[in-house]
Amino acid sequence: MIFCNNITFDIFNIDMMAISMTVVGYTVVFSALALMVLILIRVSRIQRYIVSRKLRKKGKAKTEIQSELSLTGDENAAICTALYLYFTELHDEEKYAMTIHKVSKTYSPWSSKIYGVMNGIKN
pLDDT, tens only, 45-58: 888 788 888 888 88
Q: Average of pLDDT values for 45-72?
A: 77
Q: Which residues on neighbouring strands pair with residue 7, listed in sequence order? A: 4
Q: How far is CA 36 from CA 23, 25, 115, in A?
A: 20, 17, 70
Coil vs helix vs strand at 118: helix
112 residue type, one letter: S
Higher pLDDT: 119 or 41? It is 41
pLDDT digit string, tens, across residues 6-40: 777 778 888 889 899 999 999 999 999 999 999 98
What whole-number distance in Å separates Cα of residue 11 and Cα of residue 1? 7
Taking the model in full, what pTM does it have? 0.39
At residue 87, the pLDDT reads: 84
Q: How far apart are CA 53 and CA 51, in angstroms?
A: 5
- Quote the Cα angle for 90-91-95, to 5°: 135
